[in-house]
A and B are shown apart, each in its own frame.
Chain A
Amino acid sequence: MVWRPYVSFNIWSQFVPPVGKEYWHCDMKRGFTRARKKELLVKSLLEQDTIPQQIGLLAQKGIYEFHQDIQLLCQSNGVEIVAQKLKLAQESAEVQQRVMKILENYYQSPILLGKKIIQLSRGDEGIPEPILIQQGNYFFNLFAAIDCIFIELNGKLHILDFKTGKSDFDRRQAFVYLLAATYLYPQQKAVASFYNLENGKQSELITATDAQLKAIQEKLVQIAQEHQKELQRYKKNPSDFADIFPANPGISCRHCQFTSICQFYQFEVSA
């Protein structure tokens, strides 16, 4: 397979923080995740699934299992069976408790029931197939790990992204999926939405015009180029790590997985 520059929503969000979360943004996190991921220490930190990640993954698997055997949604012990399939008993108490709640929620209101599902991922398939995109003379791969696509009654594609936890929906993710859909299903109109499996919160339907998708594609090109540029810079001058990926110590250190190896980590004393 020919190597090409690549981009994803995840990379975009590592370059540009979600709206209203500017204070939490730290370029150095991107540096660890993208430029130093093969280093032993960084690798081991990256491999440690955090609790929110574990819950997200198990929740996605749970929905997948329900729809592998749709009868489970009618059986009184459906939730228990899915929990066994997920080997939930082996997880920590917090993970067990929250995932059980998610499964029960879904069992009560299975929002995909009766939908014409054309894609439902299990969540652990690994890196999705890249989508090759050409912008002028520039070719790049777009990676979009879509949770679920179904077809609405009006024939439109509906891309659904499952969420867990308390974080807000970042509509940019939906825009990236809508862009991906124009390549994967060029003849079909699409909408996207988010659904939080833990609190039942559903976003409004998100759409984008062709002009907006064009703008998003241009942005992704820019991110892909910047990403490659900084990886190259780091490769040439690893000692410039802090200049290429400047740290933003402070509030952003609170939930950072790299504090143990980051020289800029700021331990906040209580005021």
Chain B
Amino acid sequence: MTVAIATSPTYTSFSEVFPLKILELNLMCFQLVPEVEKKDGNRLSYHFSQKLPETVVIWHKSYFWVLAAHHRVLPSKEELQEALKIIQNEVEDFKEYLFCLQLVSHFQPTHLIYSRLAIQVLNKTKFASPIAFSENGIIVKREPDFWSETLELTDDVKAAITLTICSSIMFRDTLADFYEKHPQRQNPEQFLIGLNVQEKERGNNATIVNIIGNIGEHREELLAKATGLTSKQALQDAPDEQPIVAIQFGKDTRHFYYAMAALRPCVTSATANLLGVEYGKLLKAAKITHQDRIQLLTSYKTTAKEALAVYGMQLELSINSRDYPNIFWEHPVKLEDTRLLFGNGITVNRTEVLKGLSKGGVYRRHVQFQDKSKVIQIAALKLCDVTVSSFIEQLTQRLAKYGFKSEVITKKSLSVKNLTKTESRVAVEKAVHELVEIPHDIVLAFLPESDRHADDTDEGSFYHQIYSLLLRRQIASQIIYEDTLSNSESYQYILNQVIPGIIAKLGNLPFVLAEPLEAADYFIGLDISRISKKRQAGTRNACASVRLYGRQGEFVRYRLEDDLIDGEIIPPKLLERLLPATELANKTVLIYRDGAFVGKEADYLAHRAKAIGAKFILVECKKSGVPRLYNIKQKAVTAPSQGLALCLSSCEAILVTTKVPDTIGLARPIRLTVREQGHQVSIESVLETTLKLTLLHHGALKEPRLPMPLYGSDRMAYLRLQGIRPSVMEGDRQFWL
């Protein structure tokens, strides 16, 4: 396909990151006394941006930055004070404050501030949102998404933005329409409470937590409090008898009262059927082809460029390998040529895992299977009509080929064809419960093809249900779909996929890297989850899990720790138990954090490193808010090559870790950030290490998106936070794979 992008012989890659050229800004700065915290600062700046025409406001580290369109005069102090007064009148939380507004005469904006102002401009800009799919009032829309970036080049720092495309699945009508047509309309609590909804005005997602009465009873007082135009209109138009819902945004425990016409039901796997559309269809429609993606990106860029020009900013060509050859990085050798080490010293390429297993056997047997006469006890659970005996026979033969005896000791068939979703989920739960009462090493679950269309993270799928039920008991599972078994000739191919995984889930190490990693002695995946204890005033529970890997990427063990905490603090005791001095003293340890280090986490870890005489390299690994990368071949846009990276600075990079077929979509890169509190290493060595650590997922022949120390790191912590304490908080089996 061809797109209107400048090309040259050296132009091979480009990104969704667009530098900003700052021309002439109509900029001012003010402060509020008393100072406001970040959360309130951001809220106030949003309201200022709404109130002041052709002006945007952001809050950054105690200061409010005001940018006006170049043809407009900057607001005066009085104008700002007037706007603040109106905001305080309208927004309940700010009513009681007594603010003093002070203009700042000398200010020095940073590139991040420019970039954030540009994003606020785009937030006020109307973009076209073409509809890619529409059925029964549910639409799949293409929408732009954008956030700020800064680029640190060797000789320059640049403000930039990421401009990307996403698909939103939404109900075209309002919650009021949904409610009016609902068969259980007489019992709104039954289907409304717990429903995820989207606020029409700002697009924020929330959950309905209560029904507080009807419009007739509260119309006037709610109208007095409503701030958004949509909310006000909805309140005015709503019939008296319509319920008012209380909603809650994310973790914010406050309740906000809304008329149903100001909300839309969110479309999820759980509600899609209710709304009369197959969820699988929606997921399919949400995928965007390269061609569509580039065309949309081009059109959105034009819109953004025009909007920013009004404010004195110029959007430049996206970061590409022609203009910025030094900040694109590729793994020096093909990733698939990485050598892996199996048993008996056998080494092969990454693409020859099965050859390695046949010739050398596994690199390390788990202690439970040291005795080769030990039989792997398998349970088979079948939820589809396909015959599986021949497949199972070949599976046990293949395990034997790699040195493991196995036997299917329990078989359970379940027909879910004629059951409702609820009935079938109950039946599946009962069947899994019965299976786990007999000690099995692993459960093979054969699922109907229809379950494929439910995303594996989607709670509506049997996949997710079975996986979760077994995870709760720390039992490994292997899911196989019916359609893959329709042709017996493909069994060998499926076995190639699942056998290394089965072996690994039982605690064995099929293979490790033949060449040790140089960046550190140990590699750790760290996940810290926090949850408020519902029934305990003022305390929160923190659960941290670490997985420890050695220099050859060998899994050493996982450990889970939890503690009651206050705020963002990580209790020193918890750190001591997680990162024991005996093992890590005088060692260099690369710690991957799933997401960002929160609060003072990085400082605590740096202190811990100092205390035990170790060097901790602290790397954040983010999965969302990451720009995409693309390749260009013969003027056509193609998927990015696995291992392609864009270094945004000496300590931050975007890395493509997966190879995604065009039919599936476009690779979603990850963002790696080396935190300054830890030991410093080059970003290139972090990139190389990360890529190598994606090669060690024994559960699939395809590399995961995250390096293995982080893969699935949140799963054990999730259990702990649910109140389930595994008897063994430490282990050496990767049963969650």
Q: A211-B407, A211-B409, A268-B536 are in contact. Are A175 and B725 (CB under 8 A)?
A: no
Whether A212 touches B536, Cβ cut-off 8 Å, given contacts A15-B727, A23-B724, is no
CB contacts (< 8 Å) of A209 on chain B: these are 409-410
Complex alpha-carbon distance, A209 and B440, angstroms: 13
Given A208-B438, A212-B438, A216-B438, A268 contacting B433 (CB threshold 8 A): no
A52 contacts the other chain (Cβ, under 8 Å)? no
**What chain B residues lie within 8 Å of A215 (beta carbons)?**
377, 409, 438-440
B722 contacts partner chain A, Cβ-Cβ < 8 Å: yes
Residue ID in chain A nearest B472 by CB atoms: A22
Check: A89 CB closer than 8 A to any chain B CB: no
B535 with A270: CB separation less than 8 A: yes
The total of interchain contacts (Cβ-Cβ below 8 angstroms) comes to 63
A65 within 8 A of B: no
A63 shortest CB reach to chain B, Å: 26
Q: How long is the Cα–Cα vector from A97 to B437 in the complex, in angstroms? A: 34
A271 within 8 A of B: yes
Q: Is the CB of B725 within 8 A of A269?
A: no
Residue of B nearest to A223 (CB): B439
Interface residue range, chain B: 20 to 34
Q: Are B433 and A19 in contact (CB under 8 A)?
A: yes
Bound Cα distance A25, B472 (Å): 12
Do A22 and B473 have beta carbons less than 8 Å apart?
A: yes
Task: Using A219-B439, A270-B535 as known contacts, say yes or no to A171 and B434 having CB atoms under 8 A apart.
Answer: yes
**Within the complex, which residue of A19, A27, A170, A250 is in contact with B723, where a contact is CB–CB below 8 Å?**
A250
Q: How far is the CB of B538 from chain A (nearest CB, A)?
A: 10
B333 contacts A by Cβ under 8 Å: no
Closest A residue to B534 by beta carbon equals: A271
Contact with B along A194-207 (1 / 0, CB 8 A): 00000000000000
Q: How many whole Å from A215's CB to the nearest CB in chain B?
A: 5
Q: Which residue of A lies closest to B409 (CB)?
A: A211
Q: Which residues of B contact A70 (CB under 8 A)?
A: none
Contact yes or no, A25 B725, CB < 8 A: yes
Measured between C-beta atoms, what is the minimum distance from B588 to chain A in Å? 29
Residue of B nearest to A243 (CB): B577
Q: Is B537 an interface residue (CB 8 A)?
A: yes
Q: Which one, B407, B536, B722, B729, contacts A23 given CB within 8 A?
A: B722
Complex contacts, B409 vs chain A, CB 8 Å: 209, 211-212, 214-215
A-contact 0/1 string along B597-625, CB 8 Å cutoff: 00000000000000000000000000000
A248 within 8 A of B: yes
Chain A residues lying within 8 Å of B537, measured Cβ to Cβ, are: 269
| B433 x A20 contact (CB < 8 A) | yes
A218 to B438, CA, bound (A): 11
The reply to whether the CB of A251 lies closer than 8 angstroms to some CB of chain B is: yes
Q: How far is the CB of A189 from chain B (nearest CB, A)?
A: 18
A271 to B536 alpha-carbon distance, docked (Å) = 7
Task: Evaluate contact between B725 and A27: CB separation under 8 angstroms.
Answer: yes
Q: Is A67 an interface residue (CB 8 A)?
A: no
- Which listed residue (A22, A175, A208, A269) contacts B535, Cβ 8 A? A269
Q: Pick the residue among A16, A26, A175, A269 that contacts B438 (CB under 8 A).
A: A175
Chain B positions 557-615 with a Cβ under 8 Å from a chain A Cβ: none
Measured between C-beta atoms, what is the minimum distance from B252 to chain A in Å? 17
- B436 interfacial contact with A, CB 8 Å: yes
In the complex, chain A residues whose CB is within 8 Å of the CB of B410: 209, 212
Chain B hits for A211, CB < 8 A: 377, 407, 409
Q: Which of A15, A25, A215, A266 has the largest number of chain B CB atoms within 10 A? A: A215
Query: Smallest Cβ distance from A171 to chain B, in angstroms?
Result: 5
**Nearest-CB distance from B541 to chain A (Å)?**
9
A246, CB-defined interface residue at 8 Å: yes
Are B727 and A27 closer than 8 Å at their CB atoms?
yes
CA distance A209 to B412 in the complex (A): 13
Kindly identify which residue among B434, B473, B723 contacts A251, using a CB–CB cutoff of 8 Å: B723
Q: Is the CB of B472 within 8 A of A268?
A: no
Q: What does the 1/0 interface line of B697-737 toward A look like (CB < 8 Å)?
A: 00000000000000000000000001111010100000000
Determine the distance from Cα of A31 to Cα of B723 in the docked complex, in whole angstroms.
Answer: 19
Q: List the 6 shortest-distance A-B pairs measured between CB atoms, nearest first.
A: A219-B439, A248-B725, A211-B409, A19-B433, A22-B724, A268-B535
Please list 5 pairs of residues, one from A and one from B, whose beta carbons are closer than 8 Å in the complex, sorted by A's number: A22-B472, A22-B473, A208-B438, A218-B377, A246-B725
A211-B377, A215-B440, A250-B535 given; 12 more Cβ-contact pairs under 8 Å: A15-B727, A22-B473, A23-B723, A23-B724, A25-B724, A25-B727, A171-B434, A208-B438, A212-B409, A216-B438, A246-B725, A248-B725
